[in-house]
């Protein structure tokens, strides 16, 4: 196996979100009356074109956010800088992105705080990395590990595009977590990978007592293996597994109802706290369902 390589060395002045009037190089989200959004990068002398006419970039540069622009076809557009959740779902992708509803739960349920030392594996397309960097701030540290160099390149480009350059709290390493992880005294570990149960030894060594691991997985089979792996490892408290549904509402006068579409299942989350060294977790008191474990089924059949 080749040696892991580090990329994305930060600079002390990068990572800040622009404010004030629009400038050349800024991203702008143009929203039409039907709610359709187009994101452009401002360049002097360029035009935004659609079937509803065009808007000159120079009409936007130097003006504040929240303005209304009229295209040559007479359609009005709202102009704002895109929010992170807008950027995340539309960013160029190598791997699938972690959607905003799950990223919000990861930040909340993993209790990612300003100044935290966080390990992330894998980096994917960089969407979750952006959320983690927002949460830890410039005085924290997010160490991202990605096995595939092509995915790492996409993640680095997406993160630096959103923050306007290398973020001072980010380290990106090309390599597998179980072989490349050298950090200790880590506060949080976030696993977005196919087989997170394979790296629990490395996670346990890296986390401080009281630290937390959060696994993001797609299927019930993966969720079961992660939960059972955490229980069997012996260095973690009882895992907590859950998922989140998101449903928007239509509100127009007295017509108030749920929208017909919702963001249903995207993934499962499993969290668990790191125990102090040498501590044996207490026995679970909740009885599993009859036949929940293979050995119980075998015993019944033997009878």
Question: φ, ψ for residue 212 (rounded to 5)?
Answer: -135, 140
Which segments within the chain are labelled E, that is strand?
A: 5-7, 27-31, 37-41, 47-50, 53-56, 67-70, 76-80, 117-121, 141-146, 170-174, 186-191, 207-217, 240-242, 246-252, 255-263, 268-273
The closest alpha carbon to 229, from 270, 278, 186, belongs to: 270
Is residue 127 part of an annotated ligand binding site?
A: yes
The closest alpha carbon to 269, from 245, 244, 238, 242, belongs to: 242
Is residue 192 part of an annotated ligand binding site?
A: yes
CA atoms within 13 A on the CB side of 129: 37
- Euclidean distance between the first and the last CA atom of the chain, given in angstroms as a whole number: 50
What one-character DSSP code corresponds to residue 3?
P
Is residue 128 part of an annotated ligand binding site?
A: yes
Q: How many Å apart are CA 15 and CA 160, to the nearest integer?
A: 8
Q: Are strands 47-50 and 37-41 parallel, antiparallel or unpaired?
A: unpaired
Is residue 146 part of an annotated ligand binding site?
A: yes
Cβ(243)–Cβ(223) under 8 Å? no
Binding residues for S-adenosyl-L-methionine: 125-128, 146, 192
């Amino acid at each position: 196996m080749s040696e892991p390589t580090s990329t994305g060395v930060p600079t002390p002045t990068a990572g800040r979100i622009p404010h004030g009037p629009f400038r050349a190089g800024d991203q702008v989200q143009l929203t039409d009356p039907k709610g359709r959004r187009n994101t452009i990068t401002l360049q002097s002398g360029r035009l935004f074109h659609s079937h509803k006419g065009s808007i000159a970039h120079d009409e936007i540069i130097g003006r504040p956010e929240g303005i209304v622009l009229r295209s040559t076809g007479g359609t009005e557009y709202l102009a704002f800088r895109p929010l992170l959740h807008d950027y995340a779902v539309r960013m160029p992708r190598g791997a699938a992105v972690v959607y905003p509803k799950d990223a919000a739960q990861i930040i909340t349920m993993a209790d990612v705080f300003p100044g935290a030392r966080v390990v992330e594996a894998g980096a994917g397309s960089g969407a979750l990395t952006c959320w983690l960097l927002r949460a830890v701030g410039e005085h924290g540290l997010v160490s991202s590990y990605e096995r595939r160099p092509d995915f790492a390149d996409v993640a680095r480009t997406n993160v630096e595009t959103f923050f306007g350059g290398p973020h001072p709290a980010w380290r990106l390493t090309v390599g597998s977590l179980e072989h490349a992880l050298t950090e200790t005294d880590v506060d949080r570990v976030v696993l977005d990978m196919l087989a997170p149960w394979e790296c629990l030894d490395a996670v346990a060594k890296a986390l401080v007592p009281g630290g937390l691991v959060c696994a993001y997985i797609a299927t019930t089979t993966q969720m079961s293996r992660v939960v059972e792996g955490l229980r069997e490892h012996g260095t973690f408290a009882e895992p907590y597994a859950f998922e989140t549904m998101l449903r928007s509402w239509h509100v127009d006068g007295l017509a108030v109802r749920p929208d017909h579409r919702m963001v249903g299942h995207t993934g499962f989350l499993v969290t668990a706290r790191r125990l102090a060294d040498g501590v044996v977790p207490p026995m679970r008191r909740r009885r599993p369902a009859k036949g929940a474990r293979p050995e119980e089924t075998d015993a019944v059949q033997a009878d």
